[in-house]
Amino acid sequence: MSIANAKEMMVKALEGKYAVGAFNVTDLLQFEAVIDAAIETKSPVIVQTSVKPSQFLGTDMMVAIYRTLAEKAPVPVCLHLDHCTDIDYCNKCADAGYTNIMIDASKQSYEENIRQTKAVVDYVHSVGNASVEGELGTVGGVEDQIKVAEDEAQLANPEQSVEFVQRTGVDIFAPAIGTAHGVYKTKNPKIDTERMATINKLLNGNGIKTPLVVHGGTGLPEETIKKLLAAGGAKFNVSTELKRVLIDAKWEYISAHRDEYDPGKLDKFVRDATRKAVIHWMQMIESVGHA
Ligand code: 13P
């Protein structure tokens, strides 16, 4: 039985100086490939669904897939709802069996963000073994239904971050530090790793209480990933890269086998390509061997 919530995994990760990979999936094939990679590398792993894929398959189907795969995997697996702006849907996913819920009220005013985040924390904690992620400041780019122009993205203030965590009771916290969803426009995006380290020290300097999340993993240079790891990043989110691998691998296989009509072979090729991309991330964030 390998059902786990995100906070418990991330506390262990911070103690062990590694991070947990959190990979957005849209279908069964990606779900299986992410777990294949976790088993192969003995890594804890977080499988994430954005709101649209979760609604498309339905929460019960998502959780059934999760439980079926996680229960036979010899590594801890968390199912996370990513960037949900709707309190009722957050609560519905907690009821269905997701083990980490992200309420994203970061586009609201500070007080409204606290109100909505706290409402989800209170509900989810009453349901059972699930943790809650909140966000302060805004992450640029596009993720599912959320769009933020990069020049409108606002970084999280360290003192306000502490107040936000205390007043909401979130289990894990995503401070905006300059990362963006999607593909970075420059080779060396400006990421405020010092801000991340300051927030981590304020929150976790006297014992680990609220581990930090890094959004916008796709395209981050490996050097920046290492700096963020050292600064306390305990969960790295990767979405766009896996979408690209999925579509590109399908295209590559179909182009090379235009007269073959064997979906099993196509799926195997795509699952392998996805597994390899996930393993690369697990190596970079040093989760290998920690499950
Ligand atoms: P990317 O799409 O840039 O990898 O970001 C993923 C993410 O942060 C999901 O929450």
Q: Which of 238, 241, 280 most suits a substitution to test ligand 1, by most atoms within 8 Å of the C-beta? A: 238
What proportion of the chain, given as a percentage, has pLDDT over 90? Answer: 90
82 has catalytic annotation: yes
pLDDT digits (tens, 9 = 90+) for 142-160: 777 777 766 657 899 999 9
Assign 202 a pLDDT band (cuts: 50, 70, 90). Answer: very high
What percent of the residues of the chain are helix, what percent strand, and what percent coil, each to the nearest 5?
A: 50, 15, 30
**Per-residue confidence (pLDDT) for residue 221, from 0 to 100:** 95
Determine the distance separating the centroid of ligand 1 and the alpha carbon of 215, expressed in angstroms: 5
The verdict on residue 34 lying in a domain is yes
φ and ψ at 110, to 5 degrees? Answer: -55, -50
For residue 193, how many other CB atoms are within 10 A of its CB? 19
Q: Which has the closest alpha carbon to 10: 2, 31, 18?
A: 18
Ligand 1 atom nearest to CA at 102? 10
**Per-residue confidence (pLDDT) for residue 139, from 0 to 100:** 79
Mean pLDDT of 61-90: 97
- Pair of tokens at residue 144: 């599912």
pLDDT digits (tens, 9 = 90+) for 254-290: 999 999 999 999 999 999 999 999 999 999 999 999 9
Q: Which of 48, 177, 237 most suits a substitution to test ligand 1, by most atoms within 8 Å of the C-beta? A: 237
Determine the distance separating the centroid of ligand 1 and the alpha carbon of 284, expressed in angstroms: 16
Q: CB under 6 Å to ligand 1: residues?
A: 24, 82-83, 143, 181-182, 215-218, 237-241
The verdict on residue 290 lying in a domain is no
**Per-residue confidence (pLDDT) for residue 271, from 0 to 100:** 98
Q: Which of 218, 220, 246, 281 most suits a substitution to test ligand 1, by most atoms within 8 Å of the C-beta? A: 218
Determine the distance separating the centroid of ligand 1 and the alpha carbon of 183, expressed in angstroms: 9
The verdict on residue 47 lying in a domain is yes
The residue with tokens 């349901």 is 127
CATH number for 46: 3.20.20.70
Which residues in 257-286 are b (16+ Cβ under 10 Å) and which e? eeeeeeeeebbebbbebbbebbbebbebbb
The verdict on residue 232 lying in a domain is yes
Determine the distance separating the centroid of ligand 1 and the alpha carbon of 244, expressed in angstroms: 12
The verdict on residue 1 lying in a domain is no
The verdict on residue 192 lying in a domain is yes
The parent domain of residue 166 ranges over: 6-284
The verdict on residue 89 lying in a domain is yes
Measuring from atom 9 of ligand 1, which residue has the nearest CA? 237
If one counts the domains in the chain, the total is 1
Determine the distance separating the centroid of ligand 1 and the alpha carbon of 82, expressed in angstroms: 9
User: How would you classify the pairing of strands 131-136 and 100-103?
Assistant: parallel
**pTM more than 0.85:** yes
- Active-site residue (options: 27, 36, 60, 82): 82
The verdict on residue 291 lying in a domain is no
Cα(182)–Cα(119) distance, rounded to whole angstroms?
A: 29
Ligand 1 atom nearest to CA at 179? 3
Ligand 1 atom nearest to CA at 181? 3
For 259, which DSSP code?
T
